Amino acid sequence: MCGVFGIIYAQDTNELGNTLIKGSRKLVYRGYDSAGFAAFQDKGSTLLRKGPGMLEEIIRKENISEFTGSRGIVQLRWATFGEPNLENSQPHYDSDKDIIGAHNGNIVNTEQLIEEFTQEGMTVRGTNDGEMVVHAYEKFYNQLHDPKQAMMKAQTILQGDYAFICGNVNQHQLLAVKMGSSLYMGVGDTFIVCSSDLGSILQFTRNIVFLKDGDLVLYNDSEYHIFDIHTGKEIQRPVEECTINIEEANLVGFDHYMMKEIHEQPKKVQELHDLLENTQSNMDDCIDLINQADHVYLVASGTSYHAAVVGAYYLNHLAGIHAVPVLAGYFNEYYNVSPTAKDVIFCVSQSGETKDVINVINPILHNTSAKIISMVNVIGSSITQKSEIVINVAAGLETSVPATKSYMNQLFAFLYLATYAGSKKKLDKAQEIHNQLSQIPNLLQETIDQVKEEAKEIADLLVQRGSDLYCLGYGIQYGTALEGALKIKEVYYKHCEGMYSSEFKHGPLSIVDEGYPILFPASPADDHMVISHINEIRVRKGNVIVISPQYHGYMKAASRIVAVPDSDHYFIPLTTVIVLQLIAYYASIQAGLNPDFPRNISKTLTVD
């Protein structure tokens, strides 16, 4: 959801272009509708090159590696205000081109501001909200001639959440603000840098300042000052050594990151298992909180919500903890309750930056003392900063926009949590499963090896038919069905609806004609219902492809069964989702698409 990166050195350097390129490559996951690069040079000149399209194409076309200067700003955009074209690409100049700035986030009163600024005689070139932040700063800078005062005033007319970096041609410094969107600062020996993405900084320095909402930073190559944007008072924030391990994105022989990340799942689950075994006191704290809670809400969006659906099943069935999965965007409206000190808001998010989730947390931090736990893949992210307890799913860098290995590790973390909590209550099934968790990495590897070819065949079949489809799930497999459907939509661009299988007869069944495709991840333990639901479709000539361990009941009822290795009922969501991930991947390739960067979306959604 847009990424911004701004770095400053003591003097002009030929390395600026390459540094900006390195920074930008770490931001691609946040948006790829357009990219732009700006440089400020000592003699008072600027360079600004940008445009719609993929990053590498712009780097090449615009010769970014030749950029020189002492300061530079990069922006990668995921379009919200204004279509992705040249004018709307960021960074933006102000009216007389002596200020350049870029943002990450979303200014909701953009329409009014365009009108206001135009009437005031400013040159508004596009319809992008990031440009409004530049003009708001310009407006007050021209009155006050002081960067800090100008930005303090500017924020009073900007509505929304954003992070912003800008520079004035004639001042050897950059200004950055964090107002609800992610922003980190890195302090190197010869430079200081601010960026929306922690990993983009860690490749240059491990000395990090974790900025907070409302921070206004003025920085040059050797010093920085942080102010409260509302009062102007200077704030001290420590420089911390960040020990997070950053992995380099590397295809290592795979054609796409999505496929590479699907294949990494057994290893990442193994690593997570080891990590959880070594950090049990964190799990103990988490279990204490949820055991004492009146309500446990599992709050998440997208794929993470699907993990929460399966996670709620695990917690309910294996630990007797009544956890409720809630779509983050739905929580405040639907529940309309003020969680109390005895409630737990358990946030699940790969990025730890999702705005829908932050919208649930922020009012809680201000108004109630409900406990916040988070399960994330990015330690140090905004959600972790707001949480009492953090569970690291440790899936490593996930480059592909579709979540695969992070989902798998979320499922595993929930399974570990539920079986550990149940074991502490001496529940037999929980103890039995907990003792088998170390077998899961092998089970996943076996699954990949066993189902790959068949997943490809199913994908061919779907592409040949070319229609929309359904992905149904019952009981433990509801989350899997939602996740499979999302993966297929996301990378194959065909509508695939995920649905609880008992709902199918309440209307959607009318869509079924001869050969209509239905994917049906299932567990043999649920056969009493699943067989009825399959039959209802089969008698109408639908093509029901069941994904399950080999089971005669399903073999008889279904059109076809894609068999995953036999396993305990509780492990089946982990194995069957691999088949759906692979089907989605192969369908995307067959359709000539790039599964790593599906059109119109972004990996980190920091807007409403």
Q: Which is nearer to ligand M6R, 165 or 403 (CB)?
A: 403
Q: Which is nearer to ligand M6R, 220 or 303 (CB)?
A: 303
Minimum distance between the CB of residue 298 and ligand M6R, rounded to whole angstroms? 12
Give the span between the Cα atoms of 182 and 591, in whole angstroms. 35
Instruction: Provide the pairing of β-strand 34-40 with 46-52.
Output: antiparallel
Alpha carbon of 197 to those of 317, 391, 508: distances in Å? Answer: 38, 20, 42
What is the gyration radius of the CA atoms in the chain, in angstroms?
25
Q: Which of 20, 27, 23 is nearest to 3 (CA)?
A: 27
Q: Which is nearer to ligand M6R, 92 or 603 (CB)?
A: 603
Minimum distance between the CB of residue 292 and ligand M6R, rounded to whole angstroms? 26
Q: Which is nearer to ligand M6R, 110 or 354 (CB)?
A: 354
95, 354, 387, 477: which one binds ligand M6R (CB under 6 A): 354
Sign of CA dihedral 563, 564, 568, 572: negative
By rule CB under 6 A, what string of x and - marks binding of each residue 113-152 to ligand M6R? ----------------------------------------
90, 350, 399, 523: which one binds ligand M6R (CB under 6 A): 350
- Looking from the CA of 334 toward its CB, the CA atoms found within 13 Å total 9
Catalytic residue chosen out of the listed positions 26, 268, 489, 603: 603
- Looking from the CA of 99 toward its CB, the CA atoms found within 13 Å total 27
Minimum distance between the CB of residue 219 and ligand M6R, rounded to whole angstroms? 28
SS3 86: coil
Using CB under 6 A as the binding rule, whether residue 402 contacts ligand M6R is answered as yes
Question: Please, what is the Cα angle at 285 between 283 and 288, to 5 degrees?
Answer: 105
Minimum distance between the CB of residue 309 and ligand M6R, rounded to whole angstroms? 13
Using CB under 6 A as the binding rule, whether residue 403 contacts ligand M6R is answered as yes
349, 382, 576, 581: which one binds ligand M6R (CB under 6 A): 349
401: left (phi over 0), alpha (psi -120 to 50) or beta: alpha
| H helix runs in 181-301, sequence order | 198-202, 257-263, 265-278, 280-292
Using CB under 6 A as the binding rule, whether residue 581 contacts ligand M6R is answered as no
Q: Cis omega before residue 521 (within 30°)? A: no
Which of 6-14, 202-210, 247-255, 400-408 is the region at the interface with ligand M6R (rule: CB under 6 A)?
Answer: 400-408
Is 371 among the catalytic positions? Answer: no
By rule CB under 6 A, what string of x and - marks binding of each residue 273-312 to ligand M6R? ----------------------------xxxx--------
By rule CB under 6 A, what string of x and - marks binding of each residue 356-395 to ligand M6R? -x--------------------------------------
Minimum distance between the CB of residue 486 and ligand M6R, rounded to whole angstroms? 6
Q: Which two tokens stand for residue 157?
A: 């007319």
Q: Which is nearer to ligand M6R, 376 or 537 (CB)?
A: 376
Phi, psi of 336 (to 5 degrees): 45, 40
How many amino acids of this chain bind ligand M6R (CB under 6 A)? 16
In angstroms, how far is the first alpha carbon of the chain from the final one? 11
By rule CB under 6 A, what string of x and - marks binding of each residue 472-501 to ligand M6R? --------------x---x-----------
Minimum distance between the CB of residue 252 and ligand M6R, rounded to whole angstroms? 22
Q: How many helices (H) and strands (E) does the chain have?
A: 20, 25
Task: Give Cα 333 distance to the centre of its chain.
Answer: 22
- Interacting residue ranges for ligand M6R, rule: CB under 6 A: 301-304, 349-351, 354, 357, 401-403, 486, 490, 603, 605
